[in-house]
Amino acid sequence: MRETETVVLGAGPGGYVAAIRAAQLGQKVTIVEAGEIGGVCLNVGCIPSKALITAGHRFQEAQSSDFLGVKTKEVTLDFSKTQKWKDQQVVKTLTNGIRALLKKNGVTIMEGFGSFLDKKTLQVKTKNGNEKLMFKQAIIATGSSPIEIPNFKFEGRVIDSTGGLNLKEIPKELIVVGGGYIGCELAGAYANLGAKVTIVEGSSNILPAFESDIQALVVKGFKEKNIRVVTSAKALKADQTNDSVTIEIDVNGKKEKMTADYVMVTVGRKPNTANLGLENLGIVPDSKGLIPVSDQYQTQEKNIYAIGDVVAGLALAHKASYEAKVAAEVIAGKNVKKDYRVIPAVCFTDPEVATVGLTKKESQEAGLKVSTANFPMQANGRALSLNATEGFVRLVFEKDTELVVGAQIVGVNASDLVAEITLAIESYLTLEDIALTIHGHPTLSEMVMDASEVGLGLPIHM
């Protein structure tokens, strides 16, 4: 039987961060991972999807840069080389780096599936058999898995996002069931790589979590890529052969069939809380499978913590990493708790989308009197020089105090631009605070300053 002070279940962006931080604060730490170090995010999620998105952008740029005076002869794509780059140069580099960081910080790595026997003992099923691990504290960071819908079992040509990232060839035709973050990102990536893509979404719009003007710009971008978007549609069943798969959908009561090389189902994720032995701890997940926790991420068993996709809130890697640090510091005896105002959310579509804080509607529903200030990408010099003028930066601010409470960005590098506004909201900054901050020129970040000046009624570049 092994012994440790703190055991972490799961080595994703929540688990490995928790393990490293706990070790940095003096704990003897063991991390248990049933799959790959780095979890879904680094291996079959955030990182490899962005690699394919980048490859798609490069392929498109190589074919359509005549307007710059850049002319190329016939452009071809060796997708096997693309996948090799993604797996070896991107994913493997990062996962090996995480493994090295764990070892550097003295974290013991156990490869196997861990389940609780009681509140002090973990059983780890390894390839060499079962081992027991005694611990003082535990952090559950087991992440989530794709949801499988009826009549769309993940096998053959019906795939989840993991299967979508690991295709051996670019499909001639691809159907994506689910128009949320993951579905829209991979639909755009494969369209850029040359596939004919159809998105089937149950809601009245794709990306239902975003505002309508943002949705419209993403739909416009999809139309330019010849992506068909079918909304208010329910996927009923899938029938496949060795060469293709045909699905039947119901669109407002009208049945329709469509055939493709693959169907990728991306309708959401479910927390990995089954088979962890939680019943041996007296911990009962809620109806969604989520583990109830305090603002210090403690479960009802005070020495058992839970973070990331297995607790309430958005299933985001950066949220899990934040929670990891809090839990690790609580275990180390620090007087800390959850303390953030906002969490940014990013979708890597074309154009990119990023939001943080409240929308105008949400602000009004919360009883706040707010206004908004928009600044268009087409009025920014750097955006013009990048030939990426679609989109805008929008700030939401209180009318009386001019305190910034939210932002929505759509356009090039929205994923990076949102960081400044996130910091502004966390720091209780006003429009004037941002407007008086000198921004580099020519940069995209100037649009945040310009939007602030619009809100103040003193725009220079509009």
Q: Which residues are catalytic?
A: 441
Helix (H) or strand (E) holding 370: strand 370-376
Instruction: Please work out, in degrees rounded to the nearest 5, the angle formed at the alpha carbon of residue 131 by the alpha carbons of 128 and 136.
Output: 150
CB 164 within 8 A of CB 56: no
Report residue 258: phi and psi, to 5°: -145, 145
Helix orientation angle between 317-331 and 15-24, rounded to the nearest 10 degrees: 30
d(CA 419, CA 440): 16
The runs of H, that is alpha helices, within 255-397 are 317-331, 360-365, 381-385
Residue 270: partners with Cβ closer than 8 Å, 6 or more residues away: 144, 145, 146, 147, 288, 289
457 — alpha (psi -120 to 50), left (phi > 0) or beta?
left
- E strand or H helix at 424, and its extent? helix 414-426
What the block records as the tokens of 440 is 């580099």
- Which positions ≥6 away from 180 have C-beta within 8 Å? 206, 207, 208, 209, 266, 267, 268
